[in-house]
Structure 1
């Protein structure tokens, strides 16, 4: 499996190079994100056990990227998000290699992908907390209905079947509100309101408003200048080395890097 992980990483690096080219041509700032920052910091490459590459952008850069990316993506690469496609599974963007197949632990089938998450401005003054309320609803929308009984869950499922049954429409509404609030904020932090996990942790503005480059997999890619402070904020610690028991690839249970995932789906229908 170790050899397979490295092959996945190399496919992810190809997507990273595509995104990097798009961003540099269009003066868009991005940064390595999460475990990719840890890998760059400790090894100048992917973590040996990590089977993906993640990026992050501020809302301004993210919106600009979405506006131009389709004009630059090579054949066989596609972009998936609620702004553009109906088949989205996450509240952020995936850039995908259509000519590969990966099956995740939850049986989701796709091509090898790179995630781009967005960080929005959130006011330091939470007297109203409208954005945080909408963020909580967004988590319910993305997770969907639950099987457990009880009044709260019955009410939740009813809401998902009626008022907020259009997941894509709600996410667009949520984004519009968050952007409006962020533009008005005089004092603010950044937060990953559209991330994969429930997280409104605030990051100091300086982290996301200054960039540099770092050696990563033999090339130079963009990263927030104070990436150590970013890691300390994200992980609430100063030692970013994982214990041996956590050095495992978390995502995939089947991989075929030579088979388009749509053809793989045909074999299991």
Structure 2
């Protein structure tokens, strides 16, 4: 993998494991139940946000699903959320008290061994293990909602550029360092030229930095991403998003202010600057569903809706 980017990770995942008998896809009745589980998680999260005055919007494909399908994209099986840094910091403080009985919050600054730049909360007692989670303990691999933190940026254009490139560098280093840890686990599942080609370059770079623990690199990434402290900055960005710092950047008004949308019959918040956001992520034809061959699916190594749903 010669490029930076989460998008390349999705491509590697599809090419290396998409047709493997080692993976499963959630379909049929399981997919319906998974979506109901996610919808319940979203309702619980929204209730806590309303109670504590926390700002959030749906993110990425969940926004696209809201405006194009009024709910889940039919072939999709996840929900994503955007949350400004100051609100996410408040969420961390009250999460266990409000949601800790049923859910667990994973974040780069909170969770030892996590090795991811984005945060998420998982439903306890469930399992949803992707190739990114292959080396994670089972209790960290539940059905989840990803939380992408909207980070402040410097108002000075030069400093903003420097911050952006530094974010790209530490994010790539984190990705390489994690691949060094989990590629051996992937090869235990499927040792093929495709797997080695998909992850080989990052593994070699990660090996050069094996003297740095994964937790240390994760903490560096968090500190760099969240380095700008101006909660009134003109622009915000999502360094952990698939288009990274520069591709995810937009005005604070477009991303932190919201409008109402309908998702599976419930009222949700979506970004105010919807056209700008969707064009950046999906291009000008975002309202046109892609052909079947280009629809993103998530190959899993392990899946369980819970003890009472297996």
Pick the TM interval, shorter chain: 0.7 to 0.9
More strand by share: 1
User: What residue is the counterpart of 1:64 in the other structure?
Assistant: 90
Q: In 2 relative to 1, CA 67–142 (structure 1 residues): closer, same or farther, beyond 3 Å?
A: farther
Give the Cα–Cα distance (whole angstroms) in 2 for the partners of residues 112 and 72 of structure 1.
Answer: 19
- Consecutive unaligned residues of structure 1, counting only runs of 5 or more, are 265-269
Q: In 2 relative to 1, CA 133–81 (structure 1 residues): closer, same or farther, beyond 3 Å?
A: same
Q: CA RMSD in A?
A: 3.1
Given the alignment, which residue of 166, 176, 199 partners 1:143?
Answer: 176
More helix by share: 2
Superposed, 1:58-97 pairs within 5 Å as 58-97=84-123
Question: Is this contact kept in 2: 1:139–1:198, CA < 8 A?
Answer: no
User: What residue is the counterpart of 2:295 in the other structure?
Assistant: 247
TM-aligned CA deviation for residue 178 of structure 1? 4.3
Given the alignment, which residue of 252, 259, 263 partners 2:307?
Answer: 259
User: What residue is the counterpart of 1:203 in the other structure?
Assistant: 250
- Consecutive unaligned residues of structure 2, counting only runs of 5 or more, are 1-26, 181-195
TM-aligned CA deviation for residue 59 of structure 1? 1.4
Size of the aligned set, in residue pairs, is 256
TM-score, scaled relative to structure 2:
0.72
User: What residue is the counterpart of 1:235 in the other structure?
Assistant: 282
Local SS of the residue matching 1:102: strand
Question: Is this contact kept in 2: 1:91–1:194, CA < 8 A?
Answer: yes
Superposed, 1:78-157 pairs within 5 Å as 78-105=104-131, 108=134, 110-123=141-154, 125-128=156-159, 129-135=161-167, 136-144=169-177, 157=207
Q: In 2 relative to 1, CA 10–127 (structure 1 residues): closer, same or farther, beyond 3 Å?
A: same
TM-score, scaled relative to structure 1:
0.81
Given the alignment, which residue of 75, 78, 81 partners 1:49?
Answer: 75
Question: Is this contact kept in 1: 2:174–2:221, CA < 8 A?
Answer: no
